[in-house]
Amino acid sequence: MKTQIGVDQSLARKYNSATILDHLRLHAPLSRAGLAKYTGLSRSSVSRIVDQLLSENLIHEIGAQQEKIGRPGTLIELNPAGGAAIGIEIGVDFVSAILTDFIARIQWRKHIDLPDEADLAAYLDASEELINQALLESKTCGLQPLGIGVGVWGLVDILKGEVRYAPNLNWRDVPLKRLWENRFGLTVFVDNNANAAAMGEYYLGSAKNGKDVDDFIFLSTGIGLGGGVINAGQVFRGWNGFAGEVGHMTIDPEGAACMCGKRGCWETVVGSRVGVQDYQRLTGKEVSFEELVTRLRAGDPASLEVFTKMARSLGIGIGNLVNVFNPRCIIIGGALEQISDIMLPIAKETFQKNSLIQSQKDIRIIPSTLGADSCVLGCVALVLDEVIRQRTKLS
């Protein structure tokens, strides 16, 4: 019985510490009295936990604030010097990396473009080069590395940290977690890119777009189309962890072939690759996606036709998702975020015709707050969130 009581008390302390860190993340600066009010913990419990977190360098005191009654309270916030997190995004033809401090401020970043024919070894080499550079930079900044978060465009077994299948990368059963934990000696978190981006929007997004909104769907648009579903503040993963593959929702059974082997998937009608292909079929001209966006902004009728068609397909798929999940908002990120001012009004109009009226009430369809950084910052959030939840350093 004594052992059980000790275990329960230890778990309670860890939970209470995580609660305090999370409230500081969301509402800092706060005094000890403010923390007691927000968390419902006693002032004596708050003081004990705060003293422990101060000793671990995860929080720091920043000055005094006059309480309404009594002595001034010392204000507390998360300590930027509490550690560093590394975020890695592995996309189709690129790898991006950032290093942040403990409050997710970017200290360093680098992006490497890879050729279309790049194989697994090339992606691993580029990623490991960036991780090594980030670790050197963390020493320069005087920050202890806390872990590495990785977002990959594919199906990920998050418990094992293995990329099961990434059709656009032609990967199968790649044990990234094991490989990189052995190599770098840090805890590695591997997740699907859209799930990581959704986590980034929830953890770091602005109040109007993601933060404090705990039920939304993030759509990651690019060469493929992925989705991250946040439900009650947690990534919804399904029974075996592969939920959110909305890009492979069938829109047209007789449609174009998809990289996954099926036909008519949503990502065959929405994304940067399909935009370039449709423009070439329409005009006979081969242009990059960036040039296609430039032509759209310049008023090119053919590019407007391409993106109008794509926006309608986007709206149809959103209608299906809203009917199933009834989220508070849909967040559009990735390649199409930069032209959301043109696409979203068309998508919203189409969505309203393809979803139940009751599900449409008060829903927002909005662009990503974090833009191109949504996934890589989400990878950082995977690390920082684990530190807060476990209240232990991961190195």
Predicted confidence at residue 72, as pLDDT, reads 64
DSSP 114: -
Rounded to two decimals, what is the model's pTM?
0.87
Q: How far apart are CA 351 and CA 355, in angstroms?
A: 6
For 77, the enclosing helix (H) or strand (E) is strand 73-78
Q: What is the number of other CB atoms lying within 10 angstroms of the CB of residue 335?
A: 20
pLDDT in tens, the chain (395 residues): 444 444 466 777 788 888 999 889 888 899 999 999 989 999 999 999 999 999 999 999 987 765 555 566 789 999 999 999 999 999 989 999 999 999 999 999 999 999 988 999 999 999 999 999 999 999 999 999 999 999 998 899 999 999 999 988 999 999 999 999 999 999 999 999 999 999 999 888 864 455 568 899 999 998 889 999 999 888 998 888 888 899 999 998 999 999 888 999 999 999 999 999 999 999 999 999 999 999 999 999 999 999 999 999 999 999 999 999 999 999 999 999 999 999 999 999 999 988 888 878 889 999 998 988 999 999 999 999 888 877 544 44
Predicted confidence at residue 116, as pLDDT, reads 86
Predicted confidence at residue 13, as pLDDT, reads 77
Strand order in the sheet with 162-166: 155-157, 162-166, 171-174
Q: How far apart are CA 83 and CA 21, in angstroms?
A: 14
Walk me through the domains of the chain, giving residue ranges and CATH numbers.
Answer: 2-78 (1.10.10.10), 82-198 (3.30.420.40), 206-369 (3.30.420.40)
How many secondary structure helices (H) and strands (E) does the chain include?
Answer: 12, 15
Cα 196 versus chain centre, distance = 3
Predicted confidence at residue 3, as pLDDT, reads 43
Using a 10 angstrom Cβ sphere, with 0-12 exposed, 13-18 middle and 19 or more buried, the burial of residue 156 is buried
Of 330, 382, 338, the closest CA to residue 86 belongs to 382
